[in-house]
């Protein structure tokens, strides 16, 4: 690859630089729709736009990344000008493309220390640029506070606050700024076509107005429970939590959110909790115009919080003129009931459990135990404890994996015995059945989950995982894609299983792309790094394979491939052998044998 070396100093050195990180929005979907045209158009964009713009603004094009690129500049202003030029020229470039082939970059710019050589750049300066870029929408240019400080007085740039964001692996929150676009520049991105004509809605994370950041979990919990309640209604298309929570803490434009998520309606709200009083505000907004269809404020005692959620759900159904079937009514009537203290504690535990971080998962267990000590019949807490134990087992976050698995089984079975219609119990039992290779039972739990929660991803992901374990990658991909219809921005576990299915199906390039995306979403994953190392081995990219293998131990020093392979729930050993064969080709000492 030819690189432009206008930026000074390409030796192995530490220096201050402005870093521009960019990638193509919805690249996986574009490749799935027409990989030939997408590849050709991406190459043309690189030659006609990216490389000339980098040269024009005195930058160095460090590398291409398949669906994007990385560049460095000696001047923050030049980096921003380059990003704006790419933004503008890509709009013109798209005018010659068919509607389903148009694509846009999202761009992030940071100013910071980097380590550089002639082929790559490293360090927090690069990482922050990539994390900021991941926050951007189609054709957005986002800047870190360090860049903003350098260009804020420049009248060429119209800058808008994008809020403070806690970026992964970065200790302190980073203030982010957006480069404003004139109306004539705004990209016209077609709203994704839904698979049905049901009213579609996204519930954005409710804002915590309590004046206490420790109450963030409560506002998030209200949002998540409203998503769950609406997800029970078969006549609605509801976007899943993972996608809507990518907008948490961001100043959003509702029509942009509706466009990005492919919905007609967006609900926003806020929660203020003080002592035994709570104020909840909610508004239903037309995604195309930004106009309000319905809005209400609820000032109640805290122990009325369940009634408030019920009333909001009823108002949404009424406003969107959705007819509830008998099954819908029965599902909606089933909701978690408890005293407010137990509910509050459960929201804290649930937030930690599903954060995905080892320390948070461990901290969720004593909170769940506290609930169960007070109320052993609280099924969601019992199922949650089982999920926590499964996480410790599958991720090797415990010195006693066998004990963790045994406790996970006990909790799941006890939760099912208490309430075999509880979604959390069904999910935990379904995963246990998977781990124990009880595929038919796991599949039954997956179908039951979809029956209870037709708008949530858990059932699709469980069914996709079962299909993968049974050696049916095409069916796994079908289930996972169905799940992405309600979770378009994707949960990281969905990306991992999809990557596995693509690998099993023989599509190494798309599998590589998917695993890379998963690592970007969840940098702590060791499993996706293993699959990438294997893929690189099969592709004879041996140095990359060994580097990826080494990176596993940087994120999990206690990683044991032997323990992981022992826990893989595949019906046949064909796929595991293929994975290990990729490592062997790269000369990686894996110490795995098959009988």
Mean pLDDT, range 278-307, rounded to an integer: 88
Interval 409-426: pLDDT, tens: 999 999 999 999 898 999
Let me know if domain 200-335 sits in CATH 3.40.50.10610: yes
Q: What is the rounded CA–CA span in Å between residue 530 and residue 541? A: 14
For residue 261, the model assigns a pLDDT of 87
Considering only 3-12, 168-177, 299-308, 341-350, which range has the smallest mean pLDDT? 3-12
State the chain's mean pLDDT as an integer. Answer: 86
Phi, psi dihedrals of residue 143, rounded to the nearest 5°: -120, 145
* Residue 516 pLDDT > 80: yes
DSSP-derived letter for residue 198 is: S
Decide which of 551 and 396 is more confident. 551
For residue 595, the model assigns a pLDDT of 64
Categorize the per-residue pLDDT at 165 as very low, low, confident or very high, splitting at 50, 70 and 90.
Answer: confident
For residue 494, give both structure tokens.
């969905």
Decide which of 341 and 49 is more confident. 49
Interval 109-140: pLDDT, tens: 999 889 887 778 988 899 999 989 988 878 78
Decide which of 326 and 279 is more confident. 279
Categorize the per-residue pLDDT at 408 as very low, low, confident or very high, splitting at 50, 70 and 90.
Answer: very high
* Residue 457 pLDDT > 60: yes
Domain boundaries, the chain: 13-185, 200-335
For residue 335, the model assigns a pLDDT of 62
Phi, psi dihedrals of residue 62, rounded to the nearest 5°: -75, -50
Phi, psi dihedrals of residue 86, rounded to the nearest 5°: -65, -45
Let me know if domain 13-185 sits in CATH 3.30.540.10: no
For residue 509, the model assigns a pLDDT of 92
Interval 221-231: pLDDT, tens: 888 889 888 88
* Residue 194 pLDDT > 60: no
* Residue 158 pLDDT > 50: yes
**Contact of 271 with 206, CB cutoff 8 Å:** yes
For residue 183, the model assigns a pLDDT of 37
Mean pLDDT, range 433-451, rounded to an integer: 90
Q: What is the rounded CA–CA span in Å between residue 93 and residue 98? A: 11
For residue 88, give both structure tokens.
């503008």
* Residue 370 pLDDT > 80: yes
Q: What is the rounded CA–CA span in Å between residue 159 and residue 175? A: 13
For residue 182, the model assigns a pLDDT of 41
* Residue 463 pLDDT > 70: yes
Interval 541-572: pLDDT, tens: 999 999 999 999 999 888 889 988 988 999 99
Decide which of 255 and 234 is more confident. 255
């Amino acid at each position: 690859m030819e690189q432009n070396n206008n930026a000074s100093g390409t030796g192995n050195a530490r220096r201050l630089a402005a870093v521009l990180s960019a990638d193509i929005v919805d690249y996986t979907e574009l490749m799935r729709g027409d990989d030939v045209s997408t590849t050709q158009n991406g190459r043309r964009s690189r030659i006609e736009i990216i490389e000339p713009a980098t040269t024009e603004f005195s930058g160095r094009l460090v590398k291409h990344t398949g669906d994007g690129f990385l560049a460095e500049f000696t001047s923050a202003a030049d980096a921003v000008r380059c990003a704006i030029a790419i933004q503008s020229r890509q709009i013109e470039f798209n005018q010659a493309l068919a509607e389903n082939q148009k694509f846009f970059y999202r761009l992030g710019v940071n100013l910071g220390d980097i380590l550089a050589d002639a082929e790559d750049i490293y360090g927090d300066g690069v990482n922050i640029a990539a994390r900021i870029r991941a926050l951007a929408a189609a054709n957005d240019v986002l800047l870190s506070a360090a860049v903003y400080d350098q260009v804020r007085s420049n009248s060429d740039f119209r800058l808008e606050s994008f809020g403070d964001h806690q970026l992964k692996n970065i200790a302190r929150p980073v203030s982010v700024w957006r480069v404003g676009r004139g109306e004539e520049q705004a990209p016209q991105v077609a709203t994704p076509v839904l698979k049905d004509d049901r009213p579609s809605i996204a519930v954005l994370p409710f804002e915590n107005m309590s004046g206490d950041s420790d109450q963030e979990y409560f506002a998030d919990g209200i949002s998540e429970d409203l998503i769950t309640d609406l997800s029970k209604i078969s006549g609605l298309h509801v976007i899943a939590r993972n996608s809507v929570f990518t907008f948490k803490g961001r100043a959003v434009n509702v029509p942009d959110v509706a466009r990005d998520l492919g919905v007609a309606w967006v609900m926003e709200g806020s929660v203020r909790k003080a002592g035994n009083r709570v104020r909840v505000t909610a508004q239903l907004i037309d995604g195309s115009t930004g106009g309000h269809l319905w809005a209400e404020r609820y000032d109640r005692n805290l122990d009325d919080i369940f009634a408030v959620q019920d009333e909001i759900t009823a108002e949404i159904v009424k406003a969107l003129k959705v007819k509830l079937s008998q099954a819908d009514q029965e599902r909606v009537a089933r909701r978690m009931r408890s005293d407010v203290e137990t509910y509050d504690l459960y929201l804290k535990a649930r937030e930690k459990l599903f954060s995905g971080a080892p320390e948070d998962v461990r901290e969720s267990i004593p909170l769940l135990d506290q609930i169960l000590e007070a109320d052993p019949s609280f099924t969601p807490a019992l199922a949650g404890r089982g999920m926590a134990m499964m996480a410790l087992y599958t991720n090797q976050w415990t010195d006693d994996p066998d004990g963790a698995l045994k406790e996970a089984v006990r909790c799941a079975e006890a939760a099912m015995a208490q309430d075999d219609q509880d979604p959390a119990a069904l999910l935990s039992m379904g995963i246990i059945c998977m781990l124990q290779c009880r595929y038919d039972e796991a599949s039954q739990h997956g179908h039951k989950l979809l029956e209870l929660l037709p708008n949530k991803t858990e059932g699709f992901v469980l069914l996709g995982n079962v299909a993968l374990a049974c050696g049916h990658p095409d069916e796994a991909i079908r289930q996972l894609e169905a799940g992405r219809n309600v979770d378009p921005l994707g949960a990281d576990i969905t990306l991992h299983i999809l990557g596995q299915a693509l690998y099993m199906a023989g599509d190494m390039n798309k599998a590589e792309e998917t695993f890379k995306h998963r690592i970007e979403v969840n940098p702590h994953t060791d499993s996706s790094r293993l699959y990438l190392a294997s893929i690189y081995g099969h592709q004879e990219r041996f140095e990359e394979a060994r580097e990826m293998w080494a990176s596993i131990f940087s994120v999990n020093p206690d990683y044991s491939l032997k323990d992981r392979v022992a826990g893989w729930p595949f019906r046949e050993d064909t796929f595991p052998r293929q994975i290990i064969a990729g490592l062997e080709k790269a000369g990686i000492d894996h110490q795995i044998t098959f009988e």
